[in-house]
Structures are given as structure tokens and as C-alpha cells.
Amino acid sequence: MENIKLIAIDIDGTLLDDQGKISQANIAAINAATQAGIKVVLASGRPLSGLRKALSQLGLWDTQQYSIASNGAIIQENKTAKILSEKTLPLSALKELNQYAQRYDVNLVAQDHQFTYNFNSPITFLTSRSLRQNRKVKKSISPSSQSS
């Protein structure tokens, strides 16, 4: 393993089994990699708040490791929680997406590393589920604010 510097692992369907658990074999392999000085990065479509349980189980939460969240939109240093990179859509693009969502009767919720942005009133089940992950609704963008 001396040539390996970093291992990036997806969570859903890769690291987690069918019951949503991390196997003891995976935990042991990841521990062996970190003991060998290899960086282990969880890379997921989940928001940062959705990575914490797996990071804690693997002993990666409070270490000098990194996480890639929200399909690559956010890269965080685990130990300091410092955001190293964040690529988000501009508000104008979100407003355009919301117009499509309304046309097809789809709820639109956007997230960054800190907040959930709600485009629907009242707050939907999906938004309230995000809020249970210790997130706050920063701004509700109503249809009346759709004009650019």
C-alpha cells in the first residue's frame, strides 16, 4: 500500500450494506489504511450533515481527513470543519429551476454547507427532514420573488 496516498469511498451502495450499516470488514480496512498514513475521504451525494454518522463510525470525524459532499459541491476538512471548496448555483439558476419545478408540481429544496433553502410554502416533509439534521431554513424563496 505504500504507493497509495488517498482512498475516496462512496457511501450509499458502496460503503453501506443493504441495511445501511458499515461492515466490520470495511471498518477494519479503513482503519488499516489510515494507520498506514493513507487519507480516507468519504465522497457522497449527501450533504455534510448526512456524512457525520459514517465519519464517526469510521473514526474519521475528528481527524485530519477530508469529506466530499453534495455530489462534489463541498469539500471539507473533517477536524476543523473548514470548507476548502464550495461550488453552488447562483440564485438566478435556482429561480429558473424553481419555475420548472412549479410547472411540473415538484418541490424544490436547495442546500449549502450551512442552510436549507425552501422554495415552497408551507415547509414540505422533505425540508422538515433536512431540518432534523440540525439545519436551518435561511430563506424561503416564494413565487412572488421569482422575477429577476
Instruction: Go through the domains of the chain in sequence order and give each one's CATH number.
Output: 6-86 (3.40.50.1000), 91-145 (no CATH)
List the one residue out of 129, 41, 138 whose CA is nearest residue 85.
41
Catalytic-role residue among 10, 12, 18, 105: 10
Residues 32-73 have pLDDT tens digits of 999 999 999 999 998 888 898 999 999 998 888 999 998 999
The rounded distance, in Å, linking the Cα atoms of 71 and 130 is 16
Distance, first Cα to last Cα, the chain: 54
Is 10 among the catalytic positions? yes
Residues 4-39 have pLDDT tens digits of 999 999 999 899 988 889 999 999 999 999 999 999
pLDDT over 70 for what percent of the chain?
Answer: 78
pTM metric for this prediction: 0.71
Q: Long-range contacts for 141-148 (Cβ within 8 Å, ≥24 apart)? A: 141/91, 141/94, 141/95, 141/98, 141/117, 143/98, 143/102, 145/95, 146/95, 146/98, 146/99, 148/92, 148/95
